[in-house]
């Protein structure tokens, strides 16, 4: 029976001596045709441990592909295998129909390690609405949805133009594990309000149980590492007992929806839905989180109101948190604490707030971190942040509600005692076998000019850089001038470039921060706003 099914999808069956896994090649329907029936047939024919290979090409996916087995889905590279939503698909289907929940919908519901991998694919939704009335999509849709799947890996993919999230994870409240690595997330937000979503990655628990010990520093989290995020409302968000580690990522221009915090941990709402409980615990470290524009998309310059900036690089509203060794620039505050679901007089502790556990045990007079005094608290330390030089305050840490949160009781501005991060890179990263990956290269997309459809791409790599950068672009005309511009708009370097090779710039002598590169000639001008200088320590 299985042989007959494989013939229906033109399957190539390769037996491996070690695992006896099958490699099933999905039949190519032709470019811009619907691949969903062929891909679903291949998945249905697969058994646990098998691999489903999608050929190179650009393919529509109508409805979703439902996966209930421990199988790998592999494309030929994020620039070669593209799965996309047709512009003719109704937003109401993408937002509300159960049959359209994610392009790939992993409905696993098992505590067993899955070994599932998704790699080498570009996932793309409809062109997003930017201004009301522009006729573009406001669908609240998802690229990949993972339901209670342990030890999965999503690697070397691109997620673009989804309204809810590029990747949406719902994990068991207690048994957690997974790795999201080396992916590109670009403009996963729709409409001027980002629909109140606009996430690169969303992580939620099943929202049934607030576990007593989240086991910081262990593998019992969803790990998001070595990814790039460009233009989101939240690059990552969580709630409903969610557990995540966000580390070694590059976040650029997190200004969608009017400018919000890049890294988010939702508060408890105590109403039916995914946020009855707040986020259980997060670890955020060794990330570069940089805005180069104000909330309205114009370049950041000094001397303006700090209220024009997005508020926070990281904002914690619930649960345990350790936040350290991040590089945060272009926000009003580096790290903040708030519970945006409460107001007025509240009994201490507020349900699932940072400091909740020690507050339950010792009451409002508890202080310090001895024994269980620090359980459930927020710890933040050693984050590089330059306060904005303008009107209104700007600082590396800000307590939005001092009536609820008290330093040395609920949060601490030093390292968490006895805390050790989980090994990096994540051990699951060694299990990925896929197409070649270019490491250390960030492809900036210039949030403002891209948003308004002006200008060509300028790619600067590596980014962040500590010593030198290379500039690549669509084309270099004779007589092109290369300019390096500091945040105040002052040109600090100018030279004519040789069009026979890619130009390079020495940034070793520059102060840490963000800079602009401008290429101009008699015909046009190209600008990138995402050159980040960060020196090794």
CB 119 within 8 A of CB 432: yes
Superfamily (CATH H level) for 457-533: Macroglobulin (MG2) domain (2.60.40.1930)
Tokens of 136: 């573009």
Residue 97 neighbours by CB under 8 Å, 6+ apart: none
Nearest to 318, CA basis, from 408, 373, 378, 375:
378
pLDDT at res. 438: 32
Residue 91 neighbours by CB under 8 Å, 6+ apart: 126, 137, 138, 139
Distances (CA, A) of 329 to 10, 110, 173, 309: 51, 40, 33, 10
Q: What's the CA gap between 456 and 408, in Å, rounded?
A: 50
Q: What's the CA gap between 80 and 434, in Å, rounded?
A: 13
**Cβ neighbours around 153 below 10 Å, total:** 24
Nearest to 400, CA basis, from 340, 466, 483:
340
Q: What does the domain layout of the chain look like in residue ranges?
A: 61-431, 457-533
Tokens of 247: 């580390």
Backbone angles phi, psi at 40, to 5 degrees: -65, -40
Tokens of 28: 């190519």
Nearest to 250, CA basis, from 236, 264, 268, 266:
236
SS3 380: strand
Beta bridge pairs of residue 531: 515
C-beta contacts of 347-352 below 8 A and 24+ residues apart: 348/404, 349/410, 350/404, 351/268, 351/270, 351/278, 352/210, 352/267, 352/268, 352/277, 352/278, 352/279, 352/280, 352/318, 352/319
Nearest to 137, CA basis, from 85, 101, 97:
85
CB 86 within 8 A of CB 130: no
CB 76 within 8 A of CB 56: yes
Q: What's the CA gap between 64 and 61, in Å, rounded?
A: 7
Q: What's the CA gap between 30 and 50, in Å, rounded?
A: 24
pLDDT at res. 482: 85
pLDDT at res. 431: 85
The dihedral over CA atoms of 201, 206, 211, 213, expressed in degrees to the nearest 10, equals -30
pLDDT at res. 214: 97
Q: What's the CA gap between 221 and 282, in Å, rounded?
A: 8
227-417-414 Cα angle (round to 5): 70
Residue 223 neighbours by CB under 8 Å, 6+ apart: 178, 179, 180, 181, 244, 245, 247, 422, 426, 428
Q: What's the CA gap between 205 and 281, in Å, rounded?
A: 11
pLDDT at res. 452: 29
Backbone angles phi, psi at 332, to 5 degrees: -70, -40
pLDDT at res. 258: 87
CB 111 within 8 A of CB 175: yes
Tokens of 167: 């990747």
- pLDDT digit of tens for each residue in the chain (537 aa)? 333 333 334 433 433 333 478 999 999 999 999 999 999 999 999 999 999 999 999 999 999 999 999 999 999 999 899 999 999 999 999 999 999 999 999 999 999 999 999 999 999 999 999 999 999 999 999 999 999 999 999 999 999 999 999 999 999 999 999 999 999 999 999 999 999 999 999 999 999 999 999 999 999 999 999 999 999 999 999 999 999 999 999 898 899 998 889 999 999 999 988 899 999 999 999 999 999 889 998 988 889 999 999 999 999 999 999 999 999 999 999 999 999 999 999 999 999 999 999 999 999 999 999 888 999 999 999 999 989 999 999 999 999 999 999 999 999 999 999 999 999 999 999 888 654 333 333 333 333 223 323 334 566 777 677 888 877 665 667 778 888 887 666 788 888 876 666 778 888 888 877 677 877 877 766 655 456 666 665
Sheet holding 184-186, edge to edge: 57-60, 81-84, 122-124, 158-160, 184-186, 228-230, 250-252, 288-290, 327-329, 384-385
Per the rule left: phi > 0, alpha: psi between -120 and 50, beta: everything else, 78 is alpha
Tokens of 302: 């000094």
pLDDT at res. 441: 30
């Amino acid at each position: 029976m299985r042989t007959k099914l494989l013939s229906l999808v033109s399957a190539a069956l390769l037996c491996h001596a070690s695992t006896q896994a099958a490699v099933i090649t999905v039949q190519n329907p032709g470019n811009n045709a619907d691949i969903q029936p062929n891909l679903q047939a291949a998945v249905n024919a697969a058994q646990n441990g098998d691999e489903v290979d999608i050929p190179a090409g650009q393919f529509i996916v109508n409805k979703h592909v439902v996966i209930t087995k421990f199988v790998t889905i592999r494309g030929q590279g994020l620039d070669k295998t593209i799965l996309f939503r047709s512009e003719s698909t109704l937003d109401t289907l993408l937002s509300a129909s159960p049959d359209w929940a994610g392009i790939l919908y992993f409905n696993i519901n098992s505590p067993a390690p899955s070994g599932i991998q998704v790699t080498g694919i570009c996932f793309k939704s409809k062109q997003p609405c930017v201004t009301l009335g522009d006729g573009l999509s406001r669908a609240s849709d998802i690229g990949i949805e993972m339901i209670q799947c342990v030890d999965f890996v999503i690697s070397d993919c691109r997620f673009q133009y989804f309204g809810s999230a590029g990747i949406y994870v719902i994990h068991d409240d207690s048994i957690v594990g997974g790795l999201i690595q080396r992916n590109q997330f670009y403009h996963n937000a729709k409409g001027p309000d980002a629909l109140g979503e606009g996430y690169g990655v969303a992580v939620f628990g099943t929202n049934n149980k607030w576990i007593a010990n989240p086991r910081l520093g262990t593998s019992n989290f969803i790990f998001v590492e070595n990814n790039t995020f460009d233009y989101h409302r939240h690059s990552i968000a969580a709630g409903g007992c969610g557990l995540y580690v966000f580390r070694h990522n590059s976040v650029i221009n997190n200004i969608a929806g009017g400018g919000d915090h890049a890294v988010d941990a939702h508060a408890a709402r105590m109403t039916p839905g995914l946020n009855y409980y707040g986020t259980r615990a997060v670890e955020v470290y060794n990330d570069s989180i940089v805005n180069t524009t104000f909330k309205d998309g114009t370049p950041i310059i000094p001397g303006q109101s700090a209220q024009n900036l997005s508020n926070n690089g990281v904002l914690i509203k619930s649960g345990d948190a350790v936040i350290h060794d991040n590089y945060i620039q272009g926000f009003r505050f580096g790290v903040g604490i708030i519970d945006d679901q409460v107001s007025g007089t509240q009994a201490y502790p507020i349900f699932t707030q940072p400091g909740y556990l020690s507050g339950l045990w010792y009451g409002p007079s508890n202080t310090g971190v001895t024994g269980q005094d620090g359980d459930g608290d927020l710890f933040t330390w050693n984050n590089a942040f330059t306060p904005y030089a303008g009107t209104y305050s700007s600082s590396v840490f800000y307590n939005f509600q001092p009536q609820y949160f008290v330093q040395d009781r609920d949060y601490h501005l030093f390292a968490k005692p006895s805390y050790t991060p989980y090994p990096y890179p994540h051990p699951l990263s060694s299990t990925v076998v896929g197409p070649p990956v270019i490491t250390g290269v960030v492809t900036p997309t210039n949030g403002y000019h891209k948003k308004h459809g002006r200008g060509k791409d300028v790619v600067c790599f590596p980014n962040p850089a500590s010593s030198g950068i290379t500039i690549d672009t669509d084309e270099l005309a004779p007589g092109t001038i290369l300019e390096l511009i500091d945040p105040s708009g002052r040109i600090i370097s100018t030279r004519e470039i040789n069009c026979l090779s890619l130009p390079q710039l020495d940034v070793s002598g520059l102060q840490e921060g963000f800079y602009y590169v401008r290429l101009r000639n008699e015909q046009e001008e190209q600008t990138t706003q995402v050159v980040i200088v960060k020196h090794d320590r």
